[in-house]
Amino acid sequence: MATGKVHRLPFRGRRMPERQGGFTLIELAFVLVILGILMSMGAGLVPLLINQNKLNESRAIVREAKTAVMGYALATGRLPWAAAGTDGAETVSRQRGYLPHETLGIPGTDSYTSPLFYSVDPYLATSSSTQELKGRLAELITGSHAPGLFCDGTNIRVAFVVISPGKNLETDAPNDDNHNGIVSQSGDDNRFAKPGEPQTSDYDDILDAVTLTYLHGRLE
């Protein structure tokens, strides 16, 4: 009996450290499977994060362009016309086209390197003082002068809109009515999407606008 105990103790003493210090093949396989799952989840997240980042960046660019147009109105007493070309030079009498970024002194492209687009109510591009601009806004608000620019059908009367074509690199309906991928003077009308319209497979434009009442409230 005594010799049996003597033999067992050293045997246990040898095996215990081996089991604590290493992994079995099953444990290793399990860890590798978990790692594989985590890595595939991470790889799937990267494009999603890049997409979201680009979307947020273009939203910020559009918002900054809107602020620059507001600044232009406060400084000059009128809104700029749209630009006929991507150089961004304001083109007199052009209601729809590219953002007049050169006139505003800001970049004219979004995070996808597409040009930004712009449309203005023409009645607000020919005033010559902030007082006159405010008076014209009041006329458009009361309807004594017919408004010339709308969002969400004709529900929202706006002073101007700024648009990024978004991820598909083309402006979508209702911003682009003739489906040529851009907002232009002919072929497109004065009705645009509601600001912040949800992104879908058919519509991924990023549009921001300033309403008549908001701009009226900002003027002295």
Give me the residues that bind Ca ion (CB under 5 A), please.
Answer: 165-166, 168, 172, 174, 177, 189, 191, 204-205
State the nearest-atom distance from the C-beta of 54 to Ca ion, in Å: 13
Q: Which residue is nearest to Ca ion (CB)?
A: 166
Closer to Ca ion at the Cβ: 72 or 150? 150
Closer to Ca ion at the Cβ: 90 or 204? 204
Closer to Ca ion at the Cβ: 93 or 178? 178
Closer to Ca ion at the Cβ: 123 or 150? 150
Closer to Ca ion at the Cβ: 72 or 192? 192
State the nearest-atom distance from the C-beta of 180 to Ca ion, in Å: 12
Q: Which two tokens stand for residue 116?
A: 């930004």
Q: Which two tokens stand for residue 186?
A: 């002919």
State the nearest-atom distance from the C-beta of 51 to Ca ion, in Å: 14
182 burial (CB, 10 Å; 0-12 / 13-18 / 19+) is buried
State the nearest-atom distance from the C-beta of 175 to Ca ion, in Å: 6
- Residues 197 and 152: their CA atoms lie apart, in Å, by 9
Beta strands in the chain (DSSP E): 96-98, 117-120, 150-151, 156-164, 191-192, 206-211
Contacts of 220 (CB under 8 A, 6+ apart): 130, 131, 134
Cis peptide before 174 (omega within 30 of 0): yes
Phi, psi of 161 (to 5 degrees): -130, 150
Residue listed under structure tokens 């399990």: 30
State the nearest-atom distance from the C-beta of 189 to Ca ion, in Å: 4
